[in-house]
Amino acid sequence: MNPIVKKSAIASAVVVLAAAGFVYWGLHSNTSNLPSDATAGKNPQLVEPDPQWIPSIKLAKPVGWAAGEAPKAAEGLTVSRFAEALDHPRTMLTLPNGDVLVAETNAPAANRPGGLTGVVMGLMFNRVGAGEPSPDRITLLRDADGDGRAEMKTTLRSADMRSPSGMAYRDGKLYIANHDRVLEFAFTPGQTSLEGKPLRTMMDLPAGGNHWMRNLLLSEDGKHLYVAVGSGSNIAENGMEAETGRAMIWEIDVATARRRQFAVGMRNPNGMGWNPSTGEMWAVVQERDMLGPDLVPDYLTNVPVGAQYGWPWVYWKDTFDQRVEWPMQTYMIEYTRKPEYAMGAHTAVLGMTFANGNRMGRGYENGVFVARHGSWNRRPAVGYDVVFVPFDANGNPGDVKPQPVLTGFLRDNGDARGRPTWLAWDKAGALLVSDDTAGIIWRVIAPGAQSSATVAPVVTEHLQPRKDIKDPNSPEEAARLLGGFREEDDRLLP
């Protein structure tokens, strides 16, 4: 054998053996003794961090659903197949005419790093059904006869689609987010194909990274488009410069395409929606890994403009991640926000949608449905379900654990029949759930249920404005501004 070829073969064997040892150690170390819901709810249990160089691994092999099999729906609900034989369906968008757009997609081809890390990632991705090339296609599903099953399945667009995910529509414009840019198209609901070039590129995005999905959400008045961009790494181990433009939600002015950072410090934001009670944006966020099987909880939270959620330096408002090497902004801990509600460590939250006029029956009138894609680095495995978080009349999550809506994706032997990914409402008010590894869209409904009442907006009294200042330089007006003016007798307080 040629000496060079021999050395190359030996080097390759060493890399493979090292990767195998890496995976073996991960598969047989660090099992949690806590129930999964211990790290969920308004007051999750935050254990002491257990930093890992090699992550714990629990890979659920995808085996699919046999004919006639389905997930288990909560009491009072039924589940059926809305569409199947799809290629890695992830995000969904229901159009005004009831057509459902589905992004058949996967990570970009050039997304995997080289060396030992790349080999290990390849082994893991292939094991969980995430290693296949991206289909790069937007598919249109149509249930014209209203029987709860899409009889039409056709490709809407594949040209210039590069790991597409986020979609939004309003006023004749369809927005699609590839992993590296947001595109705007002219589109009319009812079309079954999307022809021609994009009208414009709304925004170039940082490409790929560990978190390559880019969700979209339009403001309720249609003037702003929001883009969720996840981090490129776990805790910025490649440096903060490599995280420029990532781990945040961007706001784009639709008219001018000008943009600003809307909220930051969010490791991997995904599903977004508008709280019908308050009008606030809410989102689900995947938190960091390799601090042990019970840290850090993924979360559901409101997202006010200018919010900072701490990544990579801080989690859950005030707990420092000692692994991060890069200097933190001065006084950042003073304005870092605490998430509103924990969804459980490593559950991998993805899609979310608010309940508002649906046909899910009693108990599901007000709150949020969340798809938990399932862990890859926790033993025992968690997630692999769809859950409901009830909200109170003020638009806040209640002090309860996430309530199961759709389960049975994970078999007793550890294999996964599927992985719930994204959520949307069909035209009849049933919940649609994309199952990416199984290639199925599930439909969940309460038989016979009428549409629930829409959630009432919270109405509060506002402070009355102060009297106009006639002469801001007068002592009386200065005292008024300082709170020392008694309006009932127009005299300065002593």
Burial of residue 97 (CB within 10 Å: 0-12, 13-18, 19+) is exposed
For residue 367, the SS3 value is strand
320-368 pLDDT tens trace = 999 999 999 999 999 999 999 999 999 999 999 999 999 999 999 999 9
The Cα-based distances of 172 to 87, 156, 168, 186 in angstroms read 28, 15, 11, 6
Give the tokens for residue 364.
């599901």
Whether the model clears a pTM of 0.75, i.e. scores above it, the answer is: yes
**Contact between residue 209 and residue 196 where contact means Cβ atoms under 8 Å apart:** no
CB 167 within 8 A of CB 94: no
CA distance 408 to 49: 31
Tell me if residue 126 falls in helix, strand or coil. Answer: helix
- Kindly report the backbone phi and psi dihedral angles of residue 387, in degrees, each rounded to the nearest multiple of 5, phi listed first: -130, 165
271-326 tens-digit pLDDT = 999 999 999 999 999 999 999 999 999 999 999 999 999 999 999 999 999 999 99
Tokens of 145: 């006869």
SS3 89: strand
Distance CA 316, CA 311 (A): 10
Residue 405 has pLDDT above 80, yes or no: yes
CB 443 within 8 A of CB 435: no
Which residue's structure tokens are 């995947």? Answer: 286
Q: Strand, helix or coil at 134? A: coil
What one-letter code names the amino acid at 363?
A: G
